[in-house]
Amino acid sequence: MHAVWHRGERSGDPAREDEFTRLSGGVDLDAAARAIARGAIATPTIASADLSERAGGRVALKAESLQVSGSFKLRGALSKLAALGDRAAGGLIAASAGNHARAVAQAARIAGVGCDVFMPRDAPVSKVAAVQTLGARVRLSGSSVEEALELATTLAAETGAALVHPFDDLDVIAGQGTIGLELLRDVPELARVVVPVGGGGLASGIGLALRRERPDVELVGVQAEACAPLADAIAGDGAPRAPESPSAATIADGIALKRPGERTLPLLRELLHSLETVSEEEIAAAMVFLAEDAKLVAEGAGAVAVAAAMSGRLPPLDGTTVAIVSGGNVDNGLLASLLRRHETVAGRRVRLFTRVPDRPGALADLLKLIADARANLLTLEHIREAVPLHVRETGVELTLETRGREHTEQLRGALQRAGYDVSFE
C-alpha cells in the first residue's frame, strides 16, 4: 500500500471553496438520518484487538457488511426515496453491478413501488438473482456499469421514473453520511475514519458528517491499486484518469469505477486528508483476516479500508481509527478460494505425493500413518500415468490439512521413517 495523495494546506481558492459550500449545503444529514430508519439498521462498531496490534494503535471495524442489504448502499437509497416523496410513485430506476442495485430494489420494495435495474451483461449470477428476488425487473445491458447507467438515464427520461444514481446525488450522499453520524455517537475518541472510495458517495457523506461536528477527525480514502483513477484529479482541477477494463483488474470490483462524480469530486478534494492504494494481495489478506479473525464476511471493495489499516503504514493516532467494512456481498467461490489459498500459504494445507506397493492393504497402511500423525485427509487420487513407477507400484497424491509447518514436518519425518519417499507442495 502507498499514499498517492496527501493534503497539505487547504488551497484557499475562493472558487473551489464556493463550489464546496454550494454542494455541501445541499446535503441534509438530519433528514437522511430520519429516512434510513424506515428500513436500515445502525450497524455495530467492533473493536479489533488483532488489527490494533498490527496497526500499532486502536482500530475498530464499522460493520456495514451486516446492513440489511449487505452493504452501506441501502442508506443512500432510502434517503433518496424519502427526498423523492410522491415522485417515487412512478417507480425507481438504477444501474449497478450489485450492491446499489440490491439496495434500490430493497427500497422500492419497502415503498411498494416498481423498480427497474440495469446491470452489465456479465454481472454475477448470484447478484442478479438477489435483485430479482426483491421484485425488481433486471435488464442485463451494457458491458460496464457506466454503459448500464447511460441506459438507465435514458429510460428514466423516457418514462418519468426516478433515477437513483449510485453516488453522484446529494440525497444519496446524505444517506451514506449517516454512517459518520453513528461513528460520532458510538466512538467518543474517534481520530480517523478509513473508507473505500469508488464513485466517492460514501467518503463524501462521512466526510461531511465529520466536518460538521468533528473537523479534527482525519478522513482517509482507499482505492484498489489496480484501479485508482482519483489520484490524478484529487489534487487539482483535471479529470480523473480512466482505467481500461477496471472491474477485470481487481477483486474490489465494487469500487472499480472509471471516475468519481461531478458532485463528489469537489467534495473529496476538500474532505479527504489522504488517499491510499492497496494491492490485490493486501485486499485478499484483509478478506481472509475479516473472515477468520473478525468473523465478518467482506467483499473485495468492502475490505480495502481494512487492508490499509493492516498494512501498518497509517501512523497511529491518539484515539481510535475506524475502518469501514462497506459490504459483504462476496461471491462464495471467490471467498472459499482465498481461504484455501491462505491455508496453503500458512502451511495448513499441503499436497503430498508418494508411491505405495500395488497390493491390497498398502494404501490403508499409508492412511493409518497419516491418521496417527493427526493430519486430516481432504482428497486422495491414484496416479498411474506420467509418473515413473515400478510395475508393482502406484502413485498416490493426497491433499492434507495440518496444524501448520511444524506439524507438516513431523508428518514428513514419520512417513520417511516408515520407508515412504515423499514430496510435499
Residue 326 falls in the annotated catalytic set: yes
Q: Strand order of the sheet with strand 92-95?
A: 137-140, 115-119, 92-95, 162-163
Let me know if 316 is exposed, middle or buried by CB neighbors in 10 A (0-12, 13-18, 19+): middle
Residue 368 falls in the annotated catalytic set: no
Among residues 79, 144, 274, 326, which one is catalytic?
A: 326
Let me know if 49 is exposed, middle or buried by CB neighbors in 10 A (0-12, 13-18, 19+): exposed
- Extract the C-alpha cell encoding 190: 474517534
Among residues 24, 65, 69, 73, which one is catalytic?
A: 73
- Extract the C-alpha cell encoding 124: 454475477
- In whole angstroms, give the CA distance from residue 193 to residue 273: 10
Report yes or no: 328 and 297 within 8 Å, Cβ to Cβ.
yes
Active-site positions? 73, 326
